[in-house]
A and B are shown apart, each in its own frame.
Chain A
Amino acid sequence: MRNWSRFLIGATLSVLLALGLTRFVGNEYFFFATYVVLQFIVLATAWNILGGYGGYVNFGASAFFAVGAYCAVALTQSYALALPLQILAAALVTGLLGFAVGALTLRLRGIYFSIATVAVAVICETVIMNWSFVGGARGTTVLQPAAPAFFSSYTRLLFFVMALLALLAVAFARFVETSWIGRGLRAIRDNEEAAESVGVPTLKLKLFAATASGALMGAAGAPFALYMNFIEPTSAFSLNYSVSALAMPLIGGSANWLGPVIGAILLAGTQQIVTVTISSELNVLIVGLLLVVFVVAAPHGILGLWHKLVARGGQRP
C-alpha cells in the first residue's frame, strides 16, 4: 500500500510536470522529440506485459501499433471522432486482435505465438496497403485540428496525451506485476506445465496478457497520424517498432515495470539525439548494437545489473 501511495505521488507529479512543460518550454521540437520517447514507453511497457512477465515474445508490435493508428484514421475519416475516443477505439480493436492471435496460438506452448505475430504484421500491412479508404500504399494526409485553448500547439496537446497514456500503461503494468496475475505469469514463464499443475489457469492468463498488451500498443499508435500529419503503411508498420518494443524491455530489464521505461528513455532518447546530430539512418543500427551488447553482457538488463551491484556492495563490510 505504501508503495502504491509513493507511486501515485510520483504519477501526479509527472502529470503536473508534463503540463508545466507544455506551458513553459518554448522549443517546439522538444515536444516533437519527447512524444516519440513517450510513445516508446507505452509500446515497451505493453510488450513487456506478455513478453517480460509471461515469456511469450511478440515480434509484431508494429502490427498492433499500425492497426491502432489506422483505426484512428478510419474513424476520423468516417465519423470525425474526438481524440480520446479514437484512442479508446484503437485500443479496443488491437485488444481484440491480441486476443484473436492468442486464442489461435497460445493453446500451444513455445514459439507458435511468436511466429504468428510475424504473420499478423505481414497480413495487416497487406490489407492496409490495399485499402484505399485510408490511403492505401500512397498514404493519406491527416490535418491537425486547432489546438484547444490551454495548449499553444496541437503537438503540445499530443505530447500531453501521450504522457498520460505512458503513465496509464506503466500504472497498469505495475498493477499486473504486483498482483496475483503477475505471479501467475511469472510461473508460466518459469515452467508452464508446473504452473498449470499447481492450479494456474495458464491459457486464461496468457490471453489476458495478450489482449492487454495488444490494446496498449494500439493506443500508442492511435495519435500517430495526427502527430505526423500524414500516414502511410511502410512507416507505420516499420520494423523499428517491433524491434524497439522488444529491445527496450530487454535492455532496461524485463522483470520489473521500471525496466521498459528505462530502456525506452535510453534507446528512444539516444535515437532522437542521433537523428538530430549525426544521421537518421543510424537509429536502428544503434538499437541492434545495444541489444547485442546487453544480451551478451547483461541478460537481465540494466535493472539486473543494478541489483547485482547492490547485492555485491551489501556483502562487503
Chain B
Amino acid sequence: MSAPLLQVGALFKRFGGFTALAAVSFDVPAGQRLGIIGPNGSGKTTLINCICGTLRHDNGSVRLSGVDVSALPTYRRTRLGLARSFQIPRPFYSMSVAQNIAVALEYGVGRRRVHASAARKEGLTVLDRLGLTAKANADVGSLTQVDLRRLELARALATQPRLLILDEVMAGLSSVEVDDMLETLASLNREGITIVMIEHIMRAIMGFSQRVICLDAGSIVADGEPAAVINSAIVQKIYLGG
C-alpha cells in the first residue's frame, strides 16, 4: 500500500512563548479535497507555512508520498509537487502576467524541465484555464483583485503540483466569481490534483470539500465529513460562543 500524499505528524510551532501549533497530525490521501477552517489566529496559515517550508517547524514531521521533507527548503518541496497560493497575492510586480507564469514554469518543475516551446504551450494552457489569456501581456500592477487571485492560482498551477494548498484564494470575490473559482478547482481535482483549501466562505467549504478539519488554538478540534464537522458541538461553540 502506498503512503498518503501528505502526512503531517505531531507538528509543533512556537513563536517565543506562544504555541501556534500543538501536535497537529493528519493525513491527506491522493485526490482528496480537504477544507481547513478555524477562527482567526487558530494557526491555519502557520500550518500551511510549516507544510511548505516557509516557516521551520520546531517538532514533528511533514511527509510527501512517504518522504520526509522537513529538512528541505521550500523550493525543493515545490519541485516535489507541493504548490501554494498566498493569502495576500504576491505577484512579481515588475513582470507581465505571462512572465509571472514563465518563472514558475521554468523553476517549478526542477529536473523535469521541459522544452521551451512545450513550456510556452503549458503556460498558455494555464492562462486559458483561469481566463487570463487576454491579459497575458498586461502589467501585474494593472490587474484587478480577482485577476490577482487568479494569477496567484495560475502561478501555483504552472509548477505542475500534485498537491495544491490554497490560503483563502476566494477572499474578497463576489458570489459569481466564487462559483467560477470553485468550478476551476473541481476540474483540477478531477484531473488528479489533491487540494487543501483554507477558507472562511462557508458556502465554498461546504460545496467543495469532501472532508473538513477545524483548527482552534493550534490544535485540531474536529475532523470528518463537512456537515458533521460544522454541526459538531465544539465547532458550533468556537464559532458561535456559548
Is the CB–CB distance between B54 and A197 below 8 Å? Answer: yes
Within B87-110, the residues touching A (CB, 8 Å) are 90-95, 99, 102-104, 106-110
Q: Counting CB contacts under 8 A, is B155 at the interface?
A: yes
Smallest Cβ-Cβ distance to B152: which chain A residue: A194
The distance from the CB of B162 to the nearest CB of chain A, in whole angstroms, is 14
Within 8 Å by CB of A202, from B75, B86, B109, B158, lies B75
- Contact flag A196-B75 (CB < 8 Å), given A183-B102, A184-B107: yes
Do B94 and A190 touch (CB < 8 A)?
yes
Q: Is A4 an interface residue (CB 8 A)?
A: no
* Residue A193 CB within 8 A of the other chain: yes
Instruction: Tell whether B78 is near chain A: CB-to-CB under 8 Å.
Output: yes
> Closest CB of chain B to A50's CB: distance in Å?
16
Q: Does B74 contact A (CB under 8 A)?
A: yes
Q: Is the CB of A193 within 8 A of B159?
A: no
Return the contact of B75 from the options A183, A191, A199, A255 (Cβ within 8 A).
Answer: A199
Q: Chain B interface secondary structure, helix, strand, loop or mixed?
A: helix
Any chain B CB within 8 A of the CB of A203? yes
Proximity string of chain A (271-295) to chain B, C-beta cutoff 8 Å, 1 when within and 0 when not: 0000000000000000000000000
Q: Which residues of A contact B73 (CB under 8 A)?
A: 196, 201, 203
Our count of residue pairs bridging A and B at CB distance below 8 angstroms stands at 78
Bound form: Cα–Cα A201–B75 in Å: 6
Please measure, in the bound complex, the distance between the C-alpha atom of A201 and the C-alpha atom of B79, giving whole angstroms: 10
* In the complex, chain A residues whose CB is within 8 Å of the CB of B90: 191, 193-194
Is B132 located at the chain interface by the 8 A CB criterion?
A: no
Contact A187:B75 (CB < 8 A) given known A193-B86, A198-B107? no
User: Which interface residue of A180, A194, A195, A197 has the most chain B CB atoms within 10 A?
Assistant: A197
Check A67 for interface membership: any CB of B closer than 8 A.
Answer: no
The reply to whether the CB of A174 lies closer than 8 angstroms to some CB of chain B is: no
Nearest neighbor of A183 in chain B, beta-carbon distance: B103
Query: When the two chains form their complex, are residues A197 and B103 in contact, meaning their CB atoms are under 8 A apart?
Result: no
Minimum Cβ distance to chain A for residue B101 (Å): 9
Which A residues are CB-close (under 8 A) to B54? 193, 196-197
* 9 closest cross-chain pairs (CB), A and B: A190-B92, A199-B107, A199-B108, A194-B90, A198-B104, A199-B78, A196-B74, A191-B90, A200-B107
- Chain A contact residues, CB within 8 Å of chain B: 180, 183-184, 186-187, 189-191, 193-203, 255
- 7 CB contacts below 8 A, A to B, read A183-B103, A187-B95, A190-B91, A191-B91, A198-B155, A199-B104, A199-B109
